[in-house]
Amino acid sequence: MKILILGAGKMGSFFCDLLSFDHEVAILDPDAQRLRFTFNCRRFTDPGEVDDFAPQLVINAATVKYTIQAFKSILPHIPKDCIISDIASVKTGLPEFYAACGHPFVSTHPMFGPTFASLSNLANENAIVIREGYHLGRVFFLDLYRRLGLHIEEYTFAEHDATVAYSLSIPFASTLAFGAVMKHQSAPGTTFKRHLAIARGLLSEDDYLISEILFNPLTAEKLDGIIARLTDLRDIVRRRDSQAMSEFLSSVRANFNSNTEKE
């Protein structure tokens, strides 16, 4: 298959490396410097160069801020039957774009990224494939993700947004709350250092990505839940109520046990 990848960042390069030995791959990025470390593929810096390549599948690995813009730049240069796909963690605007673009599409979300995951060992990672996508495109990504050893869930766009609100918005908000009150520690404990490493990793992400994940319409409800539980914890601490603290910790452990059983 002839596959065009949009964006030569870490995820674009990852997919290029992954696919280039089994498919004819080209990668497009307007910044030629970012193409220096790609190999075994054709390298383009201008959408017009794609005309002669005539891809059968486009994988959009541009950053979330430019996902739809990258699609629009390439549509005049690809065949009408070319499948277009995204791997974006934020799907805002994509269902509407796909409905109007005139191309078969597939949308997936590898639930791992270069900040925290080891791209060379993904056995414990997850991926989401959107049900509304074109059948053959979904089959391609389902097979690809299975070969990587990923756990795969098939969700609708709406179910995906609900999952992201829970699995990304809550950790993002909790980490930002930690960072907002953090002070320098001359002799930090192990727990503090681990939280600090997570916070630094999150803050290395693009501001737009962080914002769009938190702007998920379902995030505010999750934040209300965090605030309510923190208020309970604050009141318990102020009262120095050992019994209430024990009950609070038991409820938290029950949450963890429930989540472990589901895994």
Q: Are 110 and 125 in contact (CB under 8 A)?
A: yes
User: Residue 126 burial (CB < 10 Å; 0-12/13-18/19+)?
Assistant: middle
Rounded (10°) CA dihedral 41, 119, 128, 201: -120
Residue 118 above 70 pLDDT? Answer: no
3-class secondary-structure state, position 61: coil
Closest residue by Cα to residue 95 from 122, 131, 123, 61: 131
Give the pLDDT band of residue 64 (cuts 50, 70, 90): confident
Residue 258 above 80 pLDDT? Answer: no
Q: Which long-range contacts (CB under 8 A, 24 or more apart) does 165-172 make?
A: 165/216, 165/217, 165/218, 165/219, 165/221, 165/222, 166/218, 166/222, 167/111, 168/89, 168/213, 169/213, 169/214, 169/216, 169/218, 169/219, 169/222, 169/223, 170/222, 170/226, 172/202, 172/210, 172/213, 172/214
Alpha-carbon gap, residue 150 to 5, rounded angstroms: 21
pLDDT at 246: 97
Alpha-carbon gap, residue 34 to 125, rounded angstroms: 26
User: 79-88: string of b/e by CB count within 10 Å (b at 16+)?
Assistant: eeebbbbbbb
* Beta-sheet strand order (sheet of 83-86): 42-44, 24-28, 2-6, 57-60, 83-86, 105-110, 126-130, 151-155
Alpha-carbon gap, residue 99 to 1, rounded angstroms: 24
Q: What is the DSSP string of 135-197?
A: HHHHHHHHHHHHHTT-EEEEE-HHHHHHHHIIIIIHHHHHHHHHHHH----SS--HHHHHHHH
User: Residue 164 burial (CB < 10 Å; 0-12/13-18/19+)?
Assistant: buried
pLDDT at 257: 83
pLDDT at 133: 96
Give the pLDDT band of residue 260 (cuts 50, 70, 90): low
Alpha-carbon gap, residue 178 to 116, rounded angstroms: 18
Residue 115 above 70 pLDDT? Answer: no
Q: What mean pLDDT do residues 231-259 have?
A: 93
What average pLDDT is seen over the chain? 92
Alpha-carbon gap, residue 51 to 4, rounded angstroms: 11
Which pair of tokens denotes residue 115?
A: 């900040």
